Structure 1
Amino acid sequence: MVELEHQELWELFWSERNPEAAGPLIRAFMPFVHNILSRLAINLPSHVRTDDLLQCAVVGLYSSIERFDSNQGIKFETFASKRIRGAILDELRNSDYMTRTGRTWLRKIEEAMQAWSAKHGQLPEENELADALGVSTAELEAIIDSAQPWISLDQAVVSSTGDRDVFLKDIIADTTNPGPGELVEREDIQKHLRSAFKRLAVREQKIMYLYYFEELRLAEIAVLFDLTEARVCQLHAIILLKLKAMINEYATGRRK
């Protein structure tokens, strides 16, 4: 069992297990929720208000409190962060903030990456991807900028059995307790993800490690690489698209 922050509040909740008992914990973790919102807000379109997303973020927090098991040996923040992010991103998708044009371009980028990889045995660099799409590098960067909120670990990849979606967020730093059948499939995809990660450029690997495992902000990563924060945001989005394309390659049997 890990040592918990706000131990007394947890004990109160575990003794009652109802929304009223969860209230003090929700209030205690609101700064954590606001921090997640502020990180996501960097890439949100200007017309999306973070205040509108706060309610679904709190729902994600409450769900995390209900499902958290301290005996699993992980911090609550680690357990809750992806569920809160997932609740926010679900709301963005369900509210259809992304334009039809944006969705079309995102699909074209994914298809172009997979087609290039099938032909050349490797994923395209940005200039090669731009050429394949018939746009300039600057235009590609603008497209990526507009799509960033929807390019995340919450993107689905096909499963190895092909009968359901698997989500990147569930195979990177996973903290859930899958059943035996799902565990076998997830371990298989995790193996492919490790292989895909090794195919990334060294700088791309470092960005992913610093952001998802060291939990540095994109602004902090930008300083380390002497880049602008906007450029790191673009690179992060492109890396996630590459990972999705590679996982889909493995899952559909194009690469062993």
Structure 2
Amino acid sequence: MDEPRNEVELIEEFLTTHSPELREELILRYVSLIHFVLGRLGFNPYGGIEYDDLASQGMLGLIEAVDHYDPAFGTRLSTYATLKIRSKVLDYLRDLDWLPRMARQKVRSMQSAIGELEVKLHRLPTDEEVASHLNLGLDELSQIQMDSSRVIISLDETTNKMGSDDSESSMHEWLMDEQQEDPSDMYEEKDTRANLVNAIKALPERDQLVLSLYYFEELTFKEIGKTLEISESRVCQIHGRAVVSLQALMNGDSSTKKRGRPSKRESVKAVTDKPSPEPPSRPMLDKYR
């Protein structure tokens, strides 16, 4: 029996021959990425939105990735395919406008409140302070935090708020990408690194931990919940609070406003150039259960 070819050999042969059989083989080899991406976005076969519809969009992204991949991109096909799959799914969700307009407005109001209170208090406000500022109960604030953690409003939009017309990529996507250095970005990159690191460090430790587990360790909300022994909805709430707080901190950075907003690529370089954090230690995990 012939041994399966490795990724490089298979891709090289496909790029040379454009064989329909090899194209199908590549698609089948990477079809599991669709379920990986949907899981990372918080969807499962039993969710409210038709999982099969989302998977179909993911398949379109995978096919597009296989058909348009070029090694000159400087990234692996699996990485490129993951980004394409995610982009297709998010485009589909945006067209559905599946987070109601009123919910979006409440998320914006919460973000503004956090920013205003952060300036006034010289620290991130507590949930109680935000709720009081908005004349809301804690239960309603918790629901808004969960809404803010939905697919489209996350670290992707944090980067958009920092300024960029590039709607084809996102911070979440760039975090997964294998970026090449651009010497022209060197000076602003240092400022951006400091801004992002300081903003993340200003978050409560539990919020930092959830962001680390989700964006760096690539766990789903469900997996994070099992790890921390809390509910999936609680993880979703913490994630939403964290990203909205991060948005408020980044938007309120006076140094960023004075020198002009950095590009999306610069923003993400600041994160991706940092060494990947070590997996949280057992004592740290136990602390937040």
Separation (CA, whole Å) in 2 of partners of 1:70 and 1:84? 20
Report if aligned partners of 2:221, 2:236 keep a CA contact under 8 Å in 1: yes
Give the residue type in structure 2 aligned to 1:227.
I
User: Is 1:140 the equivalent of 2:145?
Assistant: no
Separation (CA, whole Å) in 2 of partners of 1:71 and 1:97? 33
Q: 2:257 aligns to what?
A: 252
Q: 2:195 aligns to what?
A: 192
Moved more, 75-84 or 85-94: 75-84
The verdict on how the C-alpha distance between 1:26 and 1:187 changes in structure 2, with shifts beyond 3 A counting, is farther
Structure 2: state its 5+ residue gaps.
260-289
Structure 1 residue 53 displacement after superposition = 2.0
TM-score normalised to structure 1 length? 0.79
Q: 2:32 aligns to what?
A: 31
Separation (CA, whole Å) in 2 of partners of 1:55 and 1:115? 42
User: Is 1:202 the equivalent of 2:205?
Assistant: yes
Structure 1 residue 206 displacement after superposition = 1.8
Moved more, 38-47 or 51-60: 38-47
User: Is 1:151 the equivalent of 2:167?
Assistant: no
Write the mapping of 1:157-196 to structure 2, written as runs, cut at 5 A: 157=159, 164=165, 167-169=170-172, 172=175, 174-177=177-180, 181=184, 185=188, 188-196=191-199
Moved more, 15-24 or 150-159: 15-24
The verdict on how the C-alpha distance between 1:163 and 1:10 changes in structure 2, with shifts beyond 3 A counting, is closer
Separation (CA, whole Å) in 1 of partners of 2:46 and 2:97? 12
The SS at the match of 2:155 is coil
User: Is 1:108 the equivalent of 2:109?
Assistant: yes
Report if aligned partners of 1:189, 1:247 keep a CA contact under 8 Å in 2: no
The verdict on how the C-alpha distance between 1:60 and 1:126 changes in structure 2, with shifts beyond 3 A counting, is farther
Q: 1:69 aligns to what?
A: 71
Report if aligned partners of 1:210, 1:216 keep a CA contact under 8 Å in 2: yes
Greater relative contact order (Cα < 8 A, sep 6+): 2
The SS at the match of 2:156 is coil
Give the residue type in structure 2 aligned to 1:49.
E
Query: Greater CA radius of gyration, 1 or 2?
Result: 2
Write the mapping of 1:27-66 to structure 2, written as runs, cut at 5 A: 27-42=28-43, 47-65=48-66, 66=68
